[in-house]
Every structure is written in C-alpha cells, then in structure tokens.
Structure 1
C-alpha cells in the first residue's frame, strides 16, 4: 500500500512539473488523505513506513496537509498561471 501512495505522489509531482498543476495538487492531496485513512486502520505492526510518530499525529498531519492541498487547488482562480 505504501508503494501505491508513493506512486500517486510521484505522478502528482510529475503533473505539477509538466504544467497541470491543479490536477497534480489534487492528486497529491488525495494521496495524503488516503494515506491518513490507511494509517488509521492499519495496526502498528503493519504500518511500515507510514509510521513516523504516534498514530494520532501521523493521521492528523497527513489529513490536514492533504485537505489543505485540495482546498488550495480549488481556491486558486482559473486562469492563474503563477
């Protein structure tokens, strides 16, 4: 599961790098929210590299960061080129 999350993050970064920044940011945020959900349901012994600190910290931080990225993608007006 960790590999799938890393793959989604890599694809999202690729989209951002090649100009489709809005879709890339949404994918990055969604991957972090999914990672938060996966970390919440996996037992400590199976969390693997998703386990950095305590379960509450890991889940909370990924959820907040993912939600912030998705919100950012929808808040920035269309036509914004940077």
Structure 2
C-alpha cells in the first residue's frame, strides 16, 4: 500500500485515525475522553488546513479554505467543550 503523496492527505489520514481511536474510546465506555479526542482531531485538522499550502491539501480540502477552517474549528471546539459541560450522572 502506497502512502499518500500530498501533505494534506497525510494529515487527513492522521485525523481519521484519531477519530477512530476516539470512537473506540467511546465504545469502551470512556465517552468523555473519546469525544474530547475527536474534537482535538478536528481542531488539529483545522490548523493543518491553515498551514498546508493549497497545492498540497489533497483530501484535507473539502470546500474553500475559510469554510473548512471555520467548520472544523467550530465542530472541534464544540466536541471538546461538550464532555466538560455535561455533569456526571449518579449510578
């Protein structure tokens, strides 16, 4: 299997791996940690979208740069804040 050539595609695959790890944590019962990991993956993806030049974005590019950065930043921040704000439930 060949590795992706563009730097953006490599970042995208790392982001996808982090989301899979986060989902595995959620499935294992560590939902706060898992959701936080997924949120961090989206924030890291937004930062990568800002840094990677346009000709190397590959799979990291979905729409325009501003849309991608704003959307991934908002989603990532919401997923990081969510497990912090939800109180522990008894039982």
Q: Normalised by the size of structure 1, how large is the TM-score?
A: 0.92
Q: 2:49 aligns with which of 36, 39, 54?
A: 39
User: What's 1:10 paired with?
Assistant: 20
Rounded Cα–Cα distance in structure 2 between residues aligned with 1:80 and 1:61? 34
Equivalent-residue separation in structure 2 for 1:49 and 1:79 (angstroms): 39
Structure with greater Cα Rg: 2
The whole-number CA distance in structure 1 between the counterparts of 2:81 and 2:14 is 23
The alignment's C-alpha RMSD in Å is 1.4
Q: 1:61 aligns with which of 47, 55, 71?
A: 71
Structure 2 counterpart of 1:27: 37
**Structure 1 residue runs without a partner (length 5+):** none
Aligned residues: 81
TM score, norm. by length of structure 2:
0.83
Give the Å deviation of 1:16.
0.8
